Amino acid sequence: MAYENWIGHALIAIISLSLVVYVVTTGAMLRGRIKRSSGNIFKLHKKYGIYFGSFILGSFIYGLWIRLQHGESILLSVHGRLGLVILLIVALQVIPGLTLKNRATYRGLHKIMGYALAPILIIDASWGLYNGVIAGTKNLVLFHSISGGLAALFLTWIILEIRYPTQRSLSRARVASYVTVFLVTAGCWIAGGYNYLTSYGFQVKPLILEGPYPWVHEIVMELKEHIFVFLPIIALALSVTLSTLDGDIFLDDTKSRRALTMIAYLALFMVLLMFLMGAVISNAGQTGAEALK
């Protein structure tokens, strides 16, 4: 896949990811799961839902066009199949929402599909990122990147629960933090570390060092491998804090919630930084391999 084409598809997907977080947040506000912010939430939910649907449709058509340019069927890849599933879910979310007069009967299914959409989108985006950057997908690296993507989603969930608290927000934030610790530790740290120790040094590192961007290994990879150690500690601290925090303090003490939000933002920043550095490293490995051909 041509790099320029792939990057356009990825940009649309990133915008879609931001939009889905906003749509899920406003949906959760409408259902009372998190505290409402000011403004007409229903109108915003509907408006951004339509924007999100349009971006998903655009991203799918763009992906389809790129695949067709190479004479390949979109349904041959898992990324393409997941893309189709996402498109179908979005159609089932948006079209009845706009056409049905009595939405009460449809609300339960709408909610389930809405919450399912975000993790499916994250998995598909991570899958697509590594398909685009690494050409051939390696299962361990894929698991590593999907875990990172899902951890980012769970951290966003924690931030929303803390920022818009209701009676049950703390218990949900606790569950989300346990999943985050698992994803960051098992998926990102251990799987990533195993790949680094068993594969990276022998297969990717020589290609980067011989290629046009040796600084990617010397600076970016070295930095990533070291500061990665900080991430499980931050996630663990956040999880322990949420587990031991008193429910009344969580609801009434703005200062404590602000402190927790800061830590969750820090963890999210670290996850996104790792994601960005991972993409740069993978891309430099591929460029190095092409340069040595």
Partner 1 sequence: MKESAASIASATVAIFLTGWIIIAHDLSPDFKQSLASLTGNHWISVSVIAIVLFILSLELLIGFKSARRFLRVYDISLWSTSLVAVTLIMVLGILAVLITQFLSH
Q: Residue numbers of the site for partner 1 (CB under 8 A)?
A: 189, 193, 196-197, 215, 218-219, 222-223, 225-227, 229-230, 232-234, 236-237, 240-241, 244-246, 249, 255-256, 258-260, 262-263, 266, 270
Residue with tokens 């925090």: 245
From the CB of 233, what's the least distance to partner 1, in Å?
A: 5
* Nearer residue to partner 1 within complex by CB, 222 or 290: 222
Q: Beta-carbon neighbour count of residue 118 at 10 Å?
A: 18
From the CB of 130, what's the least distance to partner 1, in Å?
A: 22
* Nearer residue to partner 1 within complex by CB, 40 or 198: 198
* Nearer residue to partner 1 within complex by CB, 18 or 243: 243
| CA separation for the pair 194, 228 (Å, rounded) | 13
Q: Judge whether 86 and 116 are in contact, CB under 8 Å.
A: no
* Nearer residue to partner 1 within complex by CB, 69 or 243: 243
What is 224-247 written as a DSSP string? HHHHTTHHHHHHHHHHHHHHHS-H
* Nearer residue to partner 1 within complex by CB, 121 or 173: 173
| CA separation for the pair 255, 250 (Å, rounded) | 9
From the CB of 257, what's the least distance to partner 1, in Å?
A: 10
From the CB of 24, what's the least distance to partner 1, in Å?
A: 26
For residue 286, give the nearest of 138, 127, 73 by alpha carbon: 138
From the CB of 165, what's the least distance to partner 1, in Å?
A: 16
* Nearer residue to partner 1 within complex by CB, 66 or 158: 158
Q: What is the 3-state secondary structure (H, E, C) of 144-209?
A: HHHHHHHHHHHHHHHHHHHHCCCCCHHHHHHHHHHHHHHHHHHHHHHHHHHHHHHHHHHHHHHHHH
From the CB of 98, what's the least distance to partner 1, in Å?
A: 43
